[in-house]
Structure 1
Amino acid sequence: MSSDSAPSASSAPSAAWAPLTSLHDRAVLADRFGRDPELHLFELGDLDEPFWSHTAWYTASADGPVALLYTVGEVPTLLGLARPERTGELAGLLRAMRPVLPRRLLAHLTTGGVDALAPAYRAERRTAMLRMALTDRTALAPHLGRGAGLLGPADLPDLLALFAAGYPGNWFDERMLTAGPYVGIRDDAGRLVATAGVHVSSPRRRVAVIGNVTTHPDARGRGLAAACTARLCALLAEGGADHIGLNVRADHPTALALYRRLGFTPVTPYDETVLTAA
């Protein structure tokens, strides 16, 4: 395997059989992802700590797709997104990566990515997802002013209780409470009943990815998720985020409708898949 830089575009063989290249230069990676920031929000955010130290980046051509392997937690995450005209190159990259991948992983891959890893890997679970980006910030205004306030470390027990009731099995790291803003709404009794936070927020890269939008089952249908998401987006925009996005299940019409009302539009579909070596 080569390292640091790919061969020149004029000499690079096709992605289907090109040598796998490991990238280590954050400036090079930032330049690649910055050409399509809404597609690559997670990658741009992961160029900063505390994520960078747990990442490995691969490509198979000088200007082709880049895949990220994030090795935190029991199951590493593989991220490989490409626009439709480059899915063939992404497939070639993923085939080249099979020898360096762990035996079990969570993969976020655009069209053809999962198939490129077969038959070496089999899918345990496959969920159709949609990346969306905030493209109309004026749509946030009607949902502001509902009392969504900032959360901090002291709110962790209440936040965990809310997730257990309204979003069991979600991905959450308590460091998120300090790494990026989380907001919430409490009811008259002081119980936390709605929240929205970030998976990745990078002021340096001017990007943010919203996650863990949750409403307690007893408080749904009141617009609280919209209020929290709108407040969070406003805070992120005030902090300099030019590109704000989120991931949502493609088969969740309520969530899709919510985000469309808030000014989000689709960027790309992709599959979230748990893969195990065959």
Structure 2
Amino acid sequence: MTTTPGTRWHLTADPAEFLDRARLFLHAEPALNTALLTVADTLRTRGPHVYGDGDPLLGWLERGGRVRGAFLRTPPHRVAVSPLDPGATDARDALDALAGELADRSPELPGVMSDRATAEAFADAWRRRTGAVATENLRQRLYRLDELTPPEPGPPGTARVATAADRDLLVRWHEAFLADLGQERLTDPGEWADARLAYGGVTLWEAPDGTPVSMAGAHRLLAGQVRVAPVYTPPEHRARGHAAAVTAEVSRAALAAGAREVLLFTDLANPTSNGLYRRIGYWPVRDYAQFTFTPGR
């Protein structure tokens, strides 16, 4: 572990140390920190290079003997920062200090993701430090399940947990999901499918003839929360209620497994999916954003 003089950011490459030091902070608001929790746990359980060849960098912000913020980065991907309050002077100073830390270590940093206010504040700090241009390229909304309301009537067919026989299908659909969002691949699609299959982490909706027509994944139960992702329906099967039905089934299973919170992110550019999740009982928590950094002129 290293601690940079003059700042309160403590840095490490060890996800187990990060989770030990930042656990109370992250678990206090597991919904707002769902991405950091799941990525750090994946690094801990599947190895430090599951997201790429570069060594991960993780850290926590300590003030008054308590952890007040956290971040992680898995090169070559963006840095993920816990929500802070950019309106507070100490939070702005902390984000500026973090930008300085990362500019020294990772001047090629491709971007940031966090709740929208924190992402904007970090992007501004990065611009001041490096002269880079920051472009918002994805805006999402975090939803939390309130009262599950499965669609009635539901579409024809039934749900089932994906098995090893579905591996090739999961790989294809996962890549298609990322292409729809215009997002980079974080892990190898085959490794992603294998990891999900190991704990029953993908549910398929099958038409009456047995044809899979939609899927919904779910992360492992962690800090009392399960995050649903990804949800994907091929274009030829859309607008028939399959995504709502399979998401409702995955949400029901998460509650049955003991989740206190069931969460999901939506792309705000897709009003159809946002409306769908509201209809089955999800309510907005906070907006998140992703910025891409490019060299300034």
Shared fold, TM over 0.5: yes
Unaligned runs of 5+ residues in structure 1 are 8-16
2:134 is aligned to 123
1:30 is aligned to 23
- CA distances 1:18-74 after superposition (whole Å, capped 9, x unpaired): 253125252331100111111011222334345564343223432322111134xxx
- Which amino acid in structure 1 is aligned with residue 25 of structure 2? R
Q: Please state if 1:113 is matched with 2:132.
A: no
Shift of 1:103: 1.2
> Residue 34 of structure 2: which of 37, 41, 60 is its match?
41
1:68 is aligned to 72
- CA distances 1:82-125 after superposition (whole Å, capped 9, x unpaired): 15455525523432332223614352133222222115243366
- CA distances 1:203-250 after superposition (whole Å, capped 9, x unpaired): 4x2222221211121221111101111111111222222222122112
- Which amino acid in structure 1 is aligned with residue 203 of structure 2? V
> Residue 138 of structure 1: which of 142, 148, 161 is its match?
148
Partner-residue secondary structure (3-state), 2:24: helix
Partner-residue secondary structure (3-state), 1:139: coil
Greater share of helix: 2
- Using a 3 Å threshold, how does the CA distance of structure 1 residues 147 and 18 change in structure 2: closer, same or farther? same
Distance in 2, Cα, partners of 1:143 & 1:96: 54
> Residue 198 of structure 2: which of 178, 181, 201 is its match?
178
Name which of structure 1's ranges 261-270 and 42-51 shifts more when overlaid on structure 2: 42-51
Q: Is the 8 A contact 1:162 1:194 kept in 2?
A: no
Partner-residue secondary structure (3-state), 2:110: strand
Partner-residue secondary structure (3-state), 1:202: coil
Aligned-residue CA RMSD (Å)? 3.1
Q: Please state if 1:88 is matched with 2:86.
A: no
Distance in 2, Cα, partners of 1:105 & 1:179: 32
Partner-residue secondary structure (3-state), 1:137: coil
- Which amino acid in structure 1 is aligned with residue 41 of structure 2? D
Q: Is the 8 A contact 2:206 2:214 kept in 1?
A: yes
Distance in 1, Cα, partners of 2:246 & 2:273: 14
Q: Is the 8 A contact 1:130 1:268 kept in 2?
A: yes
Percent of residue pairs identical: 20
Q: Is the 8 A contact 2:158 2:208 kept in 1?
A: no
1:202 is aligned to 221
- Using a 3 Å threshold, how does the CA distance of structure 1 residues 2 and 164 change in structure 2: closer, same or farther? closer
Q: Please state if 1:230 is matched with 2:248.
A: yes
Distance in 2, Cα, partners of 1:47 & 1:193: 32
TM-score using structure 1 length: 0.79
> Residue 219 of structure 1: which of 231, 237, 242 is its match?
237
1:148 is aligned to 159
- Using a 3 Å threshold, how does the CA distance of structure 1 residues 22 and 161 change in structure 2: closer, same or farther? closer
Partner-residue secondary structure (3-state), 1:64: strand
- CA distances 1:159-203 after superposition (whole Å, capped 9, x unpaired): 3344566663665522233245200112344332100103x3234
Unaligned runs of 5+ residues in structure 2 are 49-55
